[in-house]
Amino acid sequence: MLLYLLPRFDNPMTRPITDRCSFPSTLWRAIRVVGIDPAAVLHKAGLPGSVHLDPATSLSTSQYFAIWKAINALADEPCIALKIIRAGDTTGQQPGFLAGLYAANFRDAISRLLHFKSMVTSEKIWTKEEQGRWSMGRDWPFATEREPSLSIDLAFAYMVELGRRGTGQRVRPVRVQYARDRGRDDALESYYGCRIDFGAGCDSITFANEDLDIPFSGYSPEFLEIVTHSVLGAFAKLAGDDTVIDRVKSAMKRTMGAGRPEAAAIASELGMSERTLQRRITSEASTYRALLIEARRERGLELLQNPSFDIDAITTMLGYESSTSFYRAFKQWEGVSPGEWRLRRGMDRGI
C-alpha cells in the first residue's frame, strides 16, 4: 500500500503544495568546500549570482533542478554527493539531519528528516511498508523533467548517513532503485552496501524494518524538543508563511539581475495575473514601485556586506543600467554613498 507522508508533528492546518523550493545555506557552503563556486553554479543554471546569499530565496522546481544539474556538470566526477555530505562535517549539516541525530530510533529520525525537507521544497514524499520492508520515494508535482541524479543521490545518501551516525552501525538499505541508466556509480553502490537497480520505474530506497527500529545512542527527548521547535520555526518561515509582499520582493530579488523586474513577469512567476498581483499588493497597503525600491535596498545592503563584490557587480545584480543610477538611489536610501557606507563599517576596498 502506497502512502504519502503525513508528518506527525506538523500544524493541523495543512498547507497547499505550491511550486516553491529553497536551497539551504549549509549546502551552498558544502558545495564551496568541495571546490565548486556557488556563483558559477548559478550562472550555469541561468540564475542571478546572488541567490546563494539569501537562503530564503524562493525557487521554482525547474530552477531548483537547474541548480542540481549545474553542480553535477561543474563537478564532472562520480559520486559528488558523498563529498558534499562529508563537507557538511566542517560547514555544518542541514538542520533536519542534526535534529534526526537526537531521535529515538532510525525510523523516527527518517520521519523528521523527510518532514523538514518537505517543508522547503514542493516534493511530495511517499512511503510504502510491506513484508518487513519500508520504502520511500518522492514525486514532484510541478516538474516538467526527471529529478536530477545528484539530487536523488544526496537525498538517499543522507538517509543512509543519518542511520549510520545515529545507530553507530553500518546500516545498509536492502534495495536502491534508480530510474536512470547506470553511469559511473560504483563508489555510490559501494557506499550503500547493496546493488543499485538501474532503469527502474521510479527512484526509491528500501530499508528492513528491523534496521529502522535500531535505537539511536544520542537520543535526548529534551534536546530533541528544543531542536525540533527551533527547526520547525525556521523552516516554516522559509516554507512560505509570508505575505504576498514578501513573495513579490523575493521574486524581484531573484530576477532583478536580468534588469528591472516587470510586474507581468513577477505575476507570472507567482502564478497569478498581473491584475491580481496589483490588487493583492494594494490590499497590503503598498505599490509595485515601492516594493521594487524596498527589494533593491534590501538586496543592495546584503551585497555591500560582501567585500568580494565591487560596485559595478552590485549595480548589475540590482538591475540598474549604470553605477550612477545605483549611487543616486543608495544616497536616497542611506544618506551616504555605497563606498562611505562600507567605510563606516570597516569594509572599505578602496572604492
Could you tell me the three cell numbers for 2?
502506497
The reported pLDDT for the residue numbered 2 is 43
Q: Which residue has the cell 498581483?
A: 277
The reported pLDDT for the residue numbered 4 is 39
CA atoms of 135 and 31, how far apart (whole Å) = 28
The reported pLDDT for the residue numbered 351 is 42
Residue spans of the chain under pLDDT 50: 1-16, 240-241, 349-351
**Are the CB atoms for 119 and 102 separated by under 8 Å?**
no
**Beta-strand pair 133-139/204-208:** antiparallel
Nearest to 255 by CA among 15, 49, 98: 49
Q: What is the pTM of this model?
A: 0.66
The reported pLDDT for the residue numbered 254 is 75
The reported pLDDT for the residue numbered 179 is 96
* Domains of the chain, CATH where assigned: 2-239 (no CATH), 244-344 (1.10.10.60)
Angle at the Cα of 197 from the Cα atoms of 185 and 176, rounded to 5 degrees: 85
Nearest to 27 by CA among 110, 106, 83: 83
The reported pLDDT for the residue numbered 184 is 86
φ, ψ of residue 134 in degrees (nearest 5): -120, 125
Give Cα 155 to chain centroid, integer Å.
12
The reported pLDDT for the residue numbered 77 is 82
The reported pLDDT for the residue numbered 15 is 45
CA atoms of 322 and 316, how far apart (whole Å) = 8
CA atoms of 95 and 40, how far apart (whole Å) = 25
Tally of helices (H runs) and strands (E runs) in the chain: 17, 6
Backbone CA torsion sign across 72, 90, 238, 317: negative
